[in-house]
Structure 1
């Protein structure tokens, strides 16, 4: 009779073979520019991650009992685009506020690195479930040949569209229709309001359609409790799944971390699950070194997972973010970006960063619920994401932080759009978390399944002595 340990080693090896048979997405075509120093650009990406922790904590203080979702790389890109060619010390002040001055790189090198970081996000949807883009809308009278406008196009891969801002309602309609078409109707209302004197609008978005996939044909949907508090729970659709994941503990955060690699290895998701159901203490203790350690952990094992299906959507006005970070005076009337023409220094601009994230089982074949109760899975770890957790998603190649947020209520169906103006915010609803659809795509855990653990799995399968350590556990 096959021992449970040998059986699990065989099943894990089978899972590896299944995954390795998939076509791995290549980044070569996106990173072929030899003028870009990848090491330096990864320093920029890690610095953005560091900055994102501070921003997350500020947002957490503003909304203690609500969901949070934003894209650090897109937020920083939007601020830097606005500062391109700015006068005086504005550019340096911006880099300091974003902590990018600590990279030791010049301003030009930092802007060049964003070309590297954003290039992978703009790849065709057929290649990756990740979609991202940027559109800058300027008044028809502005000079599109402006040097900063050209830099926005070339370095930040943004399109520039000339529209008529004299009728703000018509301009808003044009912007929303353009973004709706560009995102294949994923984003229906990119901006809800424009001021009468608006002459420039910058719209950034990022969309991630993740899939929850079982490597062993054991997966089904079941309504289960999600605990909102000590005495409050609600029924939500949970994907019950047996798969190959990285699972490890972060003791000083009193948290379990589950790492999930998305379809074709285009993104890595870290689910930080507090053990004592106290998310807010974890948020207080969370630091950038925690993130660094998480991204260096490799503890591959078979895991039974219960995870809620999600469709998160949140918009942020960059003015709000700058205010949270205490850098609002950077873009005042006396220190305009050179994107702004000299004859219009008193007019308003609108910058929106929108993040959308879907995680579901759509397009994936479901099995009967009895499979997960099988004896062969009886002694493998069970992880339930049935209470508030933190979510961090990273690009596996360039280390850019794609998403950071928390899920407090998976069934909060209201829309969320954060604005700079309190009077605007009073008329806007809050969060949008729902069960959503997304286009089906193939699963892949290739980025990490090919590294560090394969040798140990093979040794286990062959019955050879295996040296175990904290970095790779079966």
Structure 2
């Protein structure tokens, strides 16, 4: 019964680095962050709006870094999952480590206070997890904490209050058992879709932070599976693969960007989420990718006009896995992964650094499931002499996909489909 299923997960492993320190001045480590939601009730409703531009900037910056890394392969990730996990960890970061993390996540602290970042995520999590939404959307965080690690109460309170994180006591002295426990949690939260993500843990691991996001949306206008047919998807000028191509002949919000030579088609879900499918003309993918900025996408959204089109869109199911540590280091966020890391606001008497950061994401796009297609609707339309004829937009070559939550103004997912037949990159 799915039309689109997205699963994203970020795993962060923290380990003790260097010598234990016993002379931390806890008062000096306190951040000016109140963890009482009631103190900020007035700003609560607009807090998520303040972090949206920074999160969008980060999304496009991270996409371009991934593109450099993977070349001509499928890309799919949740920028919001990555931002949330690192923003949550930043509650315990100090000095230059904290400054680097803010800069990497593209938050401008001359325009907003640190407190507002966390209040923004708090509101995003509240809105995304609203059980009354038509789209099925669950996002959450968990901390697996070694029995020997004594977290500062303030850090624990902040991650629970701002990020609704579970705190789970674990025995990292038994690494196989701890790995199994974390994998089981991940499998449960992702409805069994991500299994055995962690093969092993670093022997020095004392804390693991997990962020997951699960999204299941139903198209406002489902595709009829009787119209789905075999077709060719052009990988490049010489190679193609066989795929299942879905078809619709209905009005959609579309935009032709002549400057960037691409079509933009909005395919909304029931509820307050939508996906933009961007089809660059042949040979113009790089030009479109280079222009990916929040201003570009905002311009596309504002320029959309409802028009009847012939739409061909492939069914696809792809997944991608990324070494976020390596990507962040190339983006200038280095200290939190090194022996210079200052995460002194996390735990007493322990110097910590991030040893591993992994992000895995999956997407599954189809008509709307077999049950919905059991009701066969045959549409008969009168012939007309309308001019110009509806454009035929065929996604039979590499295209981009951006999924946006309209309530929080968040980019939930972002990707490039180069080969819809490739299961995993």
**TM-score band, normalised by the shorter chain?**
0.7 to 0.9
Per the alignment, residue 398 of structure 1 pairs with: 408
Per the alignment, residue 316 of structure 2 pairs with: 310
Q: Note the 1:29-44 alignment, pairs <5 A.
A: 34-39=41-46, 41-44=48-51
1:49-105, Cα deviation, whole Å (9 max, x unpaired): 112212111111111111111111111111111121322243233212322116711
Pair 222,321 (structure 1): closer, same or farther in 2 beyond 3 Å? same
The answer as to 2:268 corresponding to 1:268 is no
Structure 1 SS opposite 2:310? strand
- Give the one of 202, 205, 211 matched to 1:198: 205
Per the alignment, residue 259 of structure 2 pairs with: 252
The answer as to 2:111 corresponding to 1:104 is yes
The answer as to 2:405 corresponding to 1:386 is no
Contact 2:122 2:162 in 1 (8 A): yes
The answer as to 2:302 corresponding to 1:296 is yes
Distance 2:270 2:140 in 1: 20
Q: Give the superposition deviation at 1:382.
A: 2.1
Contact 1:200 1:348 in 2 (8 A): no
The answer as to 2:367 corresponding to 1:357 is no
Gaps of 5+ in 1: 1-32, 415-430, 432-474
- Give the one of 320, 327, 333 matched to 1:327: 333
Q: Choose between structure 1 and 2: higher strand proportion.
A: 2
- Give the one of 322, 342, 345 matched to 1:336: 342
Distance 1:358 1:180 in 2: 17
Contact 1:199 1:349 in 2 (8 A): no
Q: Give the superposition deviation at 1:386.
A: 0.9
Contact 1:205 1:355 in 2 (8 A): no
Q: Give the superposition deviation at 1:389.
A: 0.6
Per the alignment, residue 77 of structure 1 pairs with: 84
Q: Give the superposition deviation at 1:179.
A: 1.4
The answer as to 2:91 corresponding to 1:61 is no
- Give the one of 167, 188, 201 matched to 2:195: 188
Distance 2:70 2:239 in 1: 19
1:182-208, Cα deviation, whole Å (9 max, x unpaired): 222122123233111111111222233
Contact 1:130 1:207 in 2 (8 A): yes
Contact 2:314 2:420 in 1 (8 A): yes
Per the alignment, residue 209 of structure 1 pairs with: 216
Q: Identify which range, 215-224 or 380-389, moves more after superposition.
A: 215-224
Pair 123,317 (structure 1): closer, same or farther in 2 beyond 3 Å? farther
Contact 1:247 1:256 in 2 (8 A): yes
Distance 2:235 2:135 in 1: 33
Q: Give the superposition deviation at 1:120.
A: 2.5
Per the alignment, residue 161 of structure 2 pairs with: 154
RMSD between superposed Cα atoms in Å: 2.8
Q: Note the 1:89-168 alignment, pairs <5 A.
A: 89-101=96-108, 104-124=111-131, 127-143=134-150, 146-168=153-175
1:315-347, Cα deviation, whole Å (9 max, x unpaired): 334312311312112443333324643444267
Higher RCO (Cα < 8 Å, 6 or more apart): 2
Distance 1:55 1:86 in 2: 21
The answer as to 2:291 corresponding to 1:285 is yes
Contact 1:44 1:103 in 2 (8 A): no
Structure 2 SS opposite 1:57? helix
Per the alignment, residue 223 of structure 1 pairs with: 230
Pair 280,58 (structure 1): closer, same or farther in 2 beyond 3 Å? same
1:134-173, Cα deviation, whole Å (9 max, x unpaired): 2221112223563112211111122121111112222111
Q: Identify which range, 207-216 or 153-162, moves more after superposition.
A: 207-216
Distance 2:131 2:193 in 1: 15
Distance 2:92 2:423 in 1: 41
Q: Give the superposition deviation at 1:235.
A: 1.0
Pair 225,376 (structure 1): closer, same or farther in 2 beyond 3 Å? farther
Distance 1:381 1:367 in 2: 28
Structure 2 SS opposite 1:187? coil
Q: Give the superposition deviation at 1:369.
A: 11
Pair 204,377 (structure 1): closer, same or farther in 2 beyond 3 Å? farther
Q: Identify which range, 355-364 or 175-184, moves more after superposition.
A: 355-364
Structure 2 SS opposite 1:100? coil
Per the alignment, residue 15 of structure 1 pairs with: none
